[in-house]
Structure 1
Amino acid sequence: MEMPASQNQFTKAASASRADTPVLIPGRPQLRYDWGKAWRHFRQLIRNKEDTTQVFHIFEALPWKGMERAATRFLTRDAGQRLFMAEPFLPELLDDHAMLRRMPAGSLAQVYCDFMEREGLTAQGLVDEFENFWGERPRFDDRFSWYFERIRDTHDLLHVLTGYGRDALGELCVLAFTYSQQPAPAHLFMGYAGGFEIRSRIKSAAPVFRAIREGQKLGKACPRLAEQSVKDLLPLPIEEARRRLNITPARHYNQCHTVWRGMGLDPYGLIAPVAEAA
């Protein structure tokens, strides 16, 4: 169906405006590590693993200092320029479940919708949490901001592709996986500190640290997801999408679940929120 002339002109104007977006506007604050701040917010996160704001604070304290360099390298290549124009805002795509449900049975799109609907999540929900955290701080209308947002907005897609659940260990393994893609110290800090927390609470033969280390290895084998076309991946059978990304089954993570269930423990309840004192 042909677009009305006025709408077509608007689309062309929006595309032209987007094409003029600079790669990196200078003026962002210098990145520094603050381990004390990271530890304080990690303790808050342990009290309630659903409190995503604490994760943002930890990443602010232990950032990926090479992100600007990596983003600039990608965004100045043809592939990066094409992706910037083709996929302006992932949550809009990922939250359109009516459209995603029209993709083939067994596709990444269908499994993603199942996961998000089962967990009661939306891609926009994570954006809203980040916006509340960021507050009134300066914004930069450049391509680097788009690159950063893709890193944020592919988090739940990583859960689906890797098979890691939203249990405590699953989140730690996704963090370890992501460290190999975007090496912020925050990923490993939360991954291994969380592993110690689980081991201290649950004495068992579950290979917790092997599972976290395996997540690192899986992430290293996978091309950086934020730099892949999500539109191209979504219609694929999920196993084909995993093959394209070199993602293989998480053996040690599944072994941990087997051990805990054999002990009568629910892997999804190992680190439950701590009730506040009245």
Structure 2
Amino acid sequence: MEQAADFANQSLSAHAQDRARDGTPLRDPARPEPKYRPLTALHHFRELLKDKEDTSHVFRIFEALPNKSFKTRVRNLVLSEKGERLRADEPYLPPILDDHETLRELPRGTVAHAYCDFMETEGLSAAGLVAEADKLGRRKYDDLTAWFSYRSRDTHDLMHVLTGYGRDALGEQCVLLFTHGQQPSHGHLLIGYAGALNIKKMTRGSKAPVLKAVRQAQRTGTACPALVGMSIRDLLAMNLDEARRRFAIPEPHWYRECHRIWREEGVDPYNLLATGAEEGAPQAA
């Protein structure tokens, strides 16, 4: 009986530790355990290839390929002193990221200005990415896992800015593999490498070093501290060049080289499905 009581007390103690100071649980008890469904992921990857702008398939792929280390990464951040400070100062990133008027008050050359330039040029917003995710109709949970997940999602475009990868097909694969370097998951690996191989297929005969580009992105992500655990306000206020030096983010040489070679071969890097590329061979320069 005493052993049973001790075990019950230990269980209650462990459960209590899985909460923030304000009582927010690490995981809502109603949140279902993710299931590994590779065939579902493959289906959504094929659909994504048909329309890379339909980001709903990206979310579905990640849902179908849960990573075993995810819970540990969430717990290590959100239940730490650093995590408590971040939640207090940055409870939700989209309002911060979409307030371009305030961000533009920071000095020129900062990450904030580069981010605003990127988002405005591309016609994007952090709220827009949230809306895409909401289209899936998934139930929302008020727990620490949700805060971590939203933060991972909302820093995606900041990764484009910091790394220098564009929103072309190769740039997106590079950002996904940069993300894998930061937060390993089979979803990032599938989309990143299978997407790179699809690019090679579309540009068959090209000398562009596509695989070298995505591998460099993955190595860069591994070397760079995880953005999800950084103060995004502090990051936005940093000089962009200084941030890249500080976080070991090099010039994306092989990505730039792919673009250079494609242009010489008569292929538009931002439209690999253009006439000529869609037949699997680059046009003559």
**Same fold, TM-score > 0.5, yes or no:** yes
Matched with 1:239 is: 241
Aligned length: 254
The TM-score, its normalising length taken from structure 2, stands at 0.86
Partner of 1:257: 259
Higher Cα Rg, which structure: 2
Q: Write the mapping of 1:10-89 to structure 2, written as runs, cut at 5 A.
A: 19-89=22-92
Instruction: Give 1:10's aligned residue.
Output: none
The answer on 1:228 being equivalent to 2:230 is yes
Counterpart CA distance in 2 for 1:113 and 1:271 is 29
The CA distance in 2 between the partners of 1:143 and 1:85, in whole Å, is: 12
Task: Quote the sequence identity (%).
Answer: 50
Matches within 5 A, 1:116-195: 116-133=119-136, 135=137, 137-195=138-196
- The structural deviation recorded for 1:139 is 2.4
User: Which amino acid in structure 2 is aligned with residue 206 of structure 1?
Assistant: A
Higher relative contact order (CA 8 A, sep 6+): 1
Match of 1:93 in 2: 96
In the TM superposition, residue 33 of structure 1 has moved relative to its aligned partner by: 2.1
Distance in 2 between the 1:231 and 1:178 partners?
20
Counterpart code for 2:33: Q
Query: 2 CA distance for matches of 1:64 and 1:111?
Result: 32
Q: CA RMSD in A?
A: 1.5
Whether contact under 8 Å (1:64, 1:182) holds in the other structure is no
Partner residue in 2 for 1:206: 208
TM-score, L = length of structure 1: 0.88
CA shift digits 1:150-199 (9 cap, x unpaired): 00000000000000000000000011111111111010111111111111
Rounded to whole Å, the distance in 2 between the matches of 1:199 and 1:193 is 10
Distance 2:82 2:21 in 1: 16
Deviation of 1:75 (Å)? 1.4
- Distance 1:122-1:24 versus aligned 2 partners, 3 A rule: same
Aligned-residue offset at 1:81:
0.9
Deviation at 1:271?
A: 4.3
Q: How many Å separate the matches in 2 of 1:36 and 1:77? A: 36
Rate the CA distance shift 1:271–1:66 in 2: closer, same or farther, 3 A: farther
Unaligned residue ranges in structure 2 (runs of 5+): 1-19, 275-285
Answer whether contact 1:33 1:61 (CA < 8 A) is retained: yes
Per mean C-alpha deviation after superposition, the further-off stretch among 39-48 and 94-103 is 39-48
Q: Following the alignment from structure 2 to structure 1, what is the Cα–Cα distance between the partners of residues 35 and 102?
A: 42
Query: C-alpha distance in 1, partners of 2:80/2:220?
Result: 26
Over 3 Å counting, the alpha-carbon distance change for 1:168 and 1:18 in structure 2 is farther
For 2:115, the equivalent position in structure 1 comes to: 112
- What is the one-letter code of the residue matched to 2:108? A
How many Å separate the matches in 1 of 2:21 and 2:166?
Answer: 36
Runs of 4+ in 1 over 4 A off after TM superposition: none
Partners of 1:122 and 1:230 in 2: CA distance: 16
